[in-house]
Structure 1
Amino acid sequence: MNLYSFAKTVVFSALKPLYRFEVIGTEHFPKDGGILLCSNHINALDPPVVGILAPRPVHFMAKAELFNVPLLKGILPGVNAFPVKRGLSDRDALRTAIKLLKSGEVVGLFPEGTRSKDGKLGKGFSGAGFFALRGEANVVPCAIIGPYKPFKKLKVVYGEPIDIAPYRERKASADEVTEKIMEKIAELLEAHQSK
């Protein structure tokens, strides 16, 4: 068992007694090929929750500072995290994400860039559209529906992959593609929030 599988088992065992997980739409998750998994962001636990419930291993960007913490610097690469310098245009992180997508991996992204303080979906940054256009991968929208409260239901909903090919063909902007991704996440939230 590799570190990712081990960590996934440990985290799932720790969170499962706390939250009533419900996963919807796994049939929309392509079984192979690169996937840009784009989700709303409502809690610090979103990355591990998405990581343990996704049908395939997910790579996430993590703050570069975390890779300087003695305990974490050995663990983070093993759980598919790669560093990003926040507040800068980090070319290494961009290259790493695109390389992962092109080589058929799953990259998880929170287009809002930070957690929503009121739980409402915010505006997405153009980075999501940039990766969608350059990564030659399927884009799967994802909605996390809380609350993160003990013994309450916590839903993770995957939508149908968004076809980015027409946007690439007409050389659409990264902003336009990001808007489309956010629109799809909003639709998932609306469709499943009250159920």
Structure 2
Amino acid sequence: MNLYKVGKFLFTVILYPLYRIKVIGKKNIPKEGPVIICSNHISNLDPPVVGITSGRNIHFMAKEELFKNKFFGKILRNVHAFPVKRGMKDRNALRGGLKILEENETLGLFPEGTRSKTGEVGQGLAGAGFFALRSEAWIIPCAIIGPYKPFKRLWVVYGEPIDMSSYRENKATARETTDMIMKEIEKLAKNPKMNG
């Protein structure tokens, strides 16, 4: 049994009607090749929401603590999640993320690293910039615009691929690159049409 497909199906049939999910810009996500989807983070439901709306099978980083329970950890690995240590450079997680991209898969990141308590887009961690600079992946900004309230519209907006060539050629830092990605996410999140 493919747990990822089962989970994707269940979340689709539950979350789409529950939150009246509306997706914009899905066509911006390449169907093939390495992709990094960078999204804001407002709820624990963000990973499955990005997973069911993007059209790609996504590998998400998840905090290491979630893998300590063997049963739950096995489930997470079966749905393409992999552990990352928070608050420090985790070389294994960085290598694992690059390997996913080298295999032309999709990496899902929430650069803020934790959920926003205000709903505003916060500062991102440098890891997103690291992956963007060290791979040939397309970078797709994503904004989830809530709130997560039953039967109230939830928007998922995918922006156009970010051209990383000048950042890679000019040897931009991971911090500079992450800041640029976060600005693109913030632009999507502040679309007045979807905020009331």
> Same fold by TM (over 0.5)?
yes
Q: In structure 1, what residue type is equivalent to 2:26? A: T
Q: Deviations over 1:100-140 (max 9, x none)?
A: 11211111101111111111111111111111001220000
TM-score by length of 2: 0.95
Separation (CA, whole Å) in 2 of partners of 1:91 and 1:37: 20
Aligned length: 195
SS at match of 1:123: coil
Pairwise CA distance, 1:189: 1.3
> Which residue is equivalent to 1:43?
43
> Which residue is equivalent to 1:152?
152
1:19-168 mapped onto 2 (5 Å cutoff): 19-168=19-168
Contact kept in structure 1, 2:145 and 2:195, CA below 8 Å: no
2:182 is aligned with 1:182: yes
Contact kept in structure 2, 1:99 and 1:135, CA below 8 Å: no
Contact kept in structure 1, 2:22 and 2:156, CA below 8 Å: yes
Q: In structure 1, what residue type is equivalent to 2:169? A: E
Separation (CA, whole Å) in 1 of partners of 2:175 and 2:86: 19
SS at match of 1:17: helix
Q: In structure 2, what residue type is equivalent to 1:190? A: K
> Which residue is equivalent to 2:195?
194
Give the 4+ runs in structure 1 shifted more than 4 A. none
TM-score by length of 1: 0.95
Contact kept in structure 1, 2:128 and 2:174, CA below 8 Å: yes
Contact kept in structure 1, 2:24 and 2:158, CA below 8 Å: yes
Q: In structure 1, what residue type is equivalent to 2:149? A: K
Unaligned stretches of 5+ residues in structure 1: none
Pairwise CA distance, 1:68: 2.4
Separation (CA, whole Å) in 2 of partners of 1:137 and 1:93: 17
Q: In structure 2, what residue type is equivalent to 1:8? A: K
Separation (CA, whole Å) in 2 of partners of 1:70 and 1:169: 43
Pairwise CA distance, 1:73: 2.4
Unaligned stretches of 5+ residues in structure 2: none
Amino-acid identity (%): 57
Separation (CA, whole Å) in 1 of partners of 2:123 and 2:88: 19
